[in-house]
Structure 1
Amino acid sequence: MNDAFQKDCLEILAGKVERGEISRRRFAQIAAMVLAGAPLALRAGGARAADGQLVLVNWGGDALKAYDAAYGQAFQKATGITVKEDGTGPTEGAITAQFKSGKPTWDLVDADPFSAISLGHQGMIEPIDYTVVDKAKMRPGFAWDYAASTYFFSYIIAYDAQKFGKNPPTGMADFFDVKKFPGKRSMYKWGVGMWEAALLADGVAPEKLYPLDLKRAHDKIAAFKENVSSYWGGGAESQQVMLSGDASMGLIWSTRASLLDKDPSGQVKFIWDQGLISPGALAVIKNNPGGKANAMSFIASTTDPKKQLVMFDMLGQGPANPATDALIPVDQQKYNPVDPANMTKQIALDMPWYAENYGAALDTYTKIISA
């Protein structure tokens, strides 16, 4: 099977998922069989694993430079191990395909904690070795068996300041109100936070969000489809859709919104109101080529407050280590999702709910947005 044919197979499979013709789980099963016979370069998704290196997969764009500057270069200097950044995007399906190939080429993944929990229960993710990774350097409650929190971000409303600067949105109801705030919208392709946004817009009180009423949320999302110009799948894509003017509002990550806010053009601004706060985490694929011990050492190295400050400065990530908070300049605290003034305006995503319900919820969501 040659590279071109394998890529065509995967593209066809991805299209079937988007159209709701096959489930994400079935996609992962078939993709694993395709990738099992694939050359190393294809399986690696752009970065190859080799002796003396680790491959860390994140969501691309500005994150590639940030992870290297904050963590990769320092880790290489301390250990001699090179950390290659891959911006392919560590979706649950992609991680599953890597593991089921029998020859994973990824080591570390910037995963949603609920994905790591779910995949860990299925034997695809290594348990975090907390004898190496210091749990005391994380915010209480954000260290899981299969994932260690490394930062925080939020799903927030970014908006076109040229159109709405004098009358900015104040919450999710405004995002879904195209009469009061005309223009196209952009939403997250992988569903997280979109259900909560729809329910908040539909009048559900924040304290009553969970367990999510998925039927109500999907009805709201389906009725709103004609107003959505794009469903972004990665951070760089979400930035571009706002900068291009294709959408006048987007539900995007706060890490990307802070970068847009700092752009000299002043074109895009954002609000924390009714933001949906989420931890980001690192997880290790079982049987990773770079070795479990090296991967755990890398995760331990990311808990350094000074390194997390670099991530905040470059990408707007809220620090997982609370000791970092004191290092953030006062005039920059407005970009920190875990700053107390910002947290009080937001709602935390329920990781246990997602670990139990995400797969089925996403299958339905995908069918709706691709129909």
Structure 2
Amino acid sequence: MNAGYTLNRRGFLIRSLAAAGATAGAGMVPGLLAPRSAQAAGALVYSGFGGSYEQAIRAAVLDPYAQARGIALATATGGSDVAKVSSMVKAGRTEWDLLDAQGTTLAQFAANRLLEPIDPAIAASADVFDRSLITPHSIPWYQFSLNLFWNSEAISGELQSWADVWNVQKYPGKRAFSNLPWFSLEVALLADGVPKDKLYPLDVDRAFASLDRIKKHAVFLSASGLANAISAQEVVTGIVNLARLKAVQKAGVKVRYSWEQAVFDIQQLVVPKGAPNKENAFGAIAYSLQPDSQKRVLELLGYTPTLKPVLAGIDPKQAEDLPGTDATRHKGFYLNADWWGKNGAAVSRRWQDWLAA
């Protein structure tokens, strides 16, 4: 697969596949329903992140699956909101069937016992690149990364480490970070000299002390907020989801990025306890782990597949610029979801207090 082809055609593919799904929905599939209607109809209610991401995920996986199964589909947002999912499950009123969860969210769901166990047959047949990443509740779906970036019109040369980002004397300007504590604490420790293979368990006090030194030079934003700030050239360096950064690049903003000290994470589709249509949800998970589904996620979003045969089929040149391949994996590190599952609630409270101070 040619990398330029993949990125340049992304918008066209999203529109084409989404249109195909909508056309199919008008025929054999009841179509896209409101969540409550879909729940009552025995369909599938997916809760993710909305926007262009949802459009691509529908085009790559959900619409083709609903068409093949002959069921209706509804979408919602907020599926990564641990407090909201917890409230639903504990009240016995789960409204969603399928949630889109990254590593830290998955760990918190699991720690709070909010998930249905994965169908063992699905786990047994999943030929993923690292079976140790399979949990009792999930199977790795795709890989993504957050990378160090810089505006090449504001900064000459190359930044090679988070210590460079913290060097405001040499590289003046506003920094941009995630408004979530995960990712932020890790890069703060790297900037303070902690080796990437010695990060966990996180030294939380040391991380916040490092963040104290950069705070007045920084903004802390959502994923979309980060992309907007980079597009508007309001920040000169920081951390961002690589797929979003590539979209900014494609729009003409002069930004570059490094694979050194990149943060890798795993995305999973999971089923909340009490899901009204959990069998359809398990079917969607199995469908997402088919080679063609993973290839479409790579084409539409630039995220790296987890299936070994699909990984093996990626053009070596393209693999050099994808998260979690043999070419990039050794340059960064994987977020430790287990640590965040055990410590995320306490650290998040401290994080919110620190942001507000």
Q: How does the TM-score come out when normalised to structure 2?
A: 0.83
SS in 2 for 1:131: helix
Partner Cα distance (2:37, 2:260) in 1 = 38
Q: Does residue 1:248 correspond to 2:239, yes or no?
A: no
Which one of the candidate residues 314, 323, 326 is aligned to 2:312? 326
- Kept in 1, the 8 Å contact 2:103–2:335? The answer is no
Q: Offset of 1:100 from its aligned partner?
A: 3.5
Assess, with a 3 A threshold, how the Cα gap between structure 1 residues 301 and 110 changes in structure 2: closer, same or farther: same
Question: Distance between the aligned counterparts of 1:369 and 1:84, measured in 2?
Answer: 35
- In the alignment, does 2:274 pair up with 1:284? no
- 1:304–1:328 CA distance, 2 compared to 1 (3 A): same
Give yes or no for the alignment of 1:352 onto 2:333: no
- Matched with 1:302 is 288
1:139 counterpart residue number: 129
Deviations 1:179-228 (CA, angstroms, capped at 9, x unpaired): 22221122111211111100010011122211110000011112321111
2:225 to 211, 225, 237: 237
Match of 1:171 among 161, 167, 190: 161
Matched, 1:293 2:255: no
* Corresponding position: 1:155 with 2:146: yes
Could you tell me how far apart the structure 2 residues matched to 1:348 and 1:53 are?
35
Q: Is this contact kept in 2: 1:68–1:85, CA < 8 A?
A: no
CA distance in 2, matches of 1:94, 1:227: 33
CA distance in 1, matches of 2:158, 2:50: 29
Distance in 1, Cα, partners of 2:248 & 2:295: 19
Compute the TM-score of the two structures, normalised by the length of structure 1.
Answer: 0.80
Report the CA distance between 1:89 and its aligned residue.
5.4
* C-alpha contact (below 8 Å) 1:67/1:85 kept by paired residues: no
Judge conservation of contact 1:153–1:254 (CA < 8 Å) in 2: yes
Taking a change above 3 Å as real, the CA distance of residues 98 and 177 of structure 1, as seen in their structure-2 partners, is farther
Mapped partners of 2:257, 2:124: distance in 1: 34
Aligned to 1:59: 49
Is the aligned partner of 1:311 residue 2:304? no
Deviations 1:314-365 (A, max 9, x none): 2121112122123333443233101212111101222221221111111111
Answer yes or no: is the 8 Å Cα contact 1:309–1:328 preserved in 2: no
Corresponding residue of 1:119: 109
The answer to whether the 8 A contact 1:316-1:335 is kept is no
Q: Which runs of 5+ in 1 are unaligned?
A: 1-40
Identify the range of structure 1 (264-273 vs 208-217) with the bigger mean alpha-carbon deviation. 264-273
Q: 1:356 to 1:201 in 2, by over 3 A?
A: same
Is 1:186 matched with 2:176? Answer: yes
Q: Deviations over 1:290-311 (max 9, x none)?
A: x221111110110112211211
Query: How far apart are the structure 2 equivalents of 1:47 and 1:63?
Result: 23
* Structure 2 partner of 1:219: 209
1:260 is the counterpart of 2:265: no
Letter paired with 1:281: Q
> Aligned to 1:108, which of 90, 98, 106?
98
Deviations 1:61-81, CA, capped at 9 Å, x for gaps: 331121011101210121012
Amino acid of the residue matched to residue 326 of structure 1?
A
| Deviation, structure 1 residue 250 | 2.9
CA RMSD across the alignment: 2.2
SS class of match (1:223): helix
Match of 1:342 among 314, 318, 328: 328
1:202 aligns with 2:192: yes
Which amino acid counterpart does residue 268 of structure 1 have in structure 2? V
Aligned residue runs from structure 1 range 73-92, under 5 A = 73-88=63-78, 90-92=80-82
Code of the aligned partner of 1:324: V
